[in-house]
Amino acid sequence: MQQQNRGLQLRSREGHFEMVSFELRTCEGGFWMWVACDFDGHHGGHWLAPDPTDPARLIVASQPYLWPSAGDAFAARDRWEQQNDA
């Protein structure tokens, strides 16, 4: 069963809220998780990745991170939601 992409409210560093959605992209050797952001006329996004200074945390990065499986990528998306709700 294919998992659905979901939207959520994400607080940015500038203190505004923007709607984001996630898209799993298949690539050679694994998967990338795209985080699309739409706010105030801006349409862009970043890649979901582990924080290199603290692998237990997640960040959005300008370069894609290779997740070894779709399950790992979706688990990271869920951890991202929990991390930002705290």
Domain locations in the chain? 7-85
Q: Helix, strand, or coil here: 17?
A: strand
Query: 24 with 33: CB under 8 angstroms?
Result: yes
pLDDT of residue 44: 77
Whole-prediction pTM value? 0.72
What is the torsion angle, in degrees rounded to the nearest 10, for the CA atoms of residue 68, residue 69, residue 74 and residue 76? -20
At a CB cut-off of 8 Å and minimum separation 6, what does 68 contact? 30, 31
Query: How many CB atoms are located within 10 Å of the residue 80 CB?
Result: 21
Q: What is the pLDDT of residues 27-36, one digit of tens each?
A: 999 999 998 8
pLDDT of residue 1: 35
